[in-house]
Amino acid sequence: MDVSNNHRRQKSVKFVDIHCHCLAGIDDGPSDITESVALCKALAEDNVAFVVATPHQLGRFEGLNEAQSVRDAVRKLNRILKSRRIPIMVVPGGEVRVDERICQLLEDDKILTLADSGRYILLELPHQVFIDIEPMLRDLASIGVRPIISHVERVSALVKEPNILLKWFEHSTNLQITASSLLGGFGIRAERAAWNFLTSGWARLVASDSHDLNSRKPAMRAVYNLITTKLGKDLANQVCIENPLRVIKAMDILPVSVFEKQEVNP
């Protein structure tokens, strides 16, 4: 094998990260602009070309991180990244805690869709308490917004009873799993659930959900290589590059086809 050529091919792969807490001092991501720039530099070194800044909105961040302030923070960060020649583009978004007011808050420009495109919204569910969000999904569909459930492999109720998702899929719901979960960073249960969602074809998007350079650091290149090894390069490209790019371009997310659909035991 030509190791140098293989290394160059890996370096040429550019990822799109639709879930990342990279803005400074507004949620549980970087505490200041120095940490924010360092995280973005690490993302760029991990071959991420585009990243959606997804600060938490609603829930315990009720009244904070409203749409315009996030847009302003993204503009400021991009100026700094450009001045320091860090090759990554940040676009605005949010990780929105499920709330019956979401449609109205979108209309009032209080919360954000991914890439501020009006097409996809990243929804965060409680980890331990089950909430049937089908009525809200129906409302979102009525205004042309498609939901993406964040880190589904860490939502206990959906891991225990994944068939709950079948009726949610009827409302154009998509699932995002976290790179670190596939790598075992959130424990064996989340790891197994993440691989099962991926091999079932139910999860069509992988994102970093990075917060910092310690416990929640970027891992897109590592997970891309692991998915390639286990399930093939085509699928790795689809969930790490093509479908995330379609999200920020407000295009339809493509179905994922996996030949081996049995349970994966990491």
Domains in the chain (CATH in brackets) are 13-248 (3.20.20.140)
The torsion angles phi and psi of 226, rounded to 5 degrees, stand at -70, -45
| Reported confidence tier of residue 39, pLDDT bands at 50, 70, 90 | very high
Per-residue pLDDT tens over the stretch 117-156: 999 999 999 987 899 999 999 999 999 999 999 999 999 9
Question: Residue 262's pLDDT is what?
Answer: 41
- Is the overall model pTM greater than 0.85, yes or no? yes
Tell me the C-alpha distance between 154 and 189, whole Å. Answer: 9
For the four alpha carbons of 215, 38, 24 and 177, in that order, the dihedral sign comes to negative
On the question of pLDDT at 7 being above 80, the answer is: no
Q: Of all residues in the chain, what percent carry a pLDDT higher than 90?
A: 89
Per-residue pLDDT tens over the stretch 49-98: 999 999 999 999 999 999 999 999 999 999 999 999 999 999 999 999 99
Tell me the C-alpha distance between 30 and 35, whole Å. Answer: 5
Q: What angle do CA 53, 103, 55 make, to 5 degrees?
A: 15
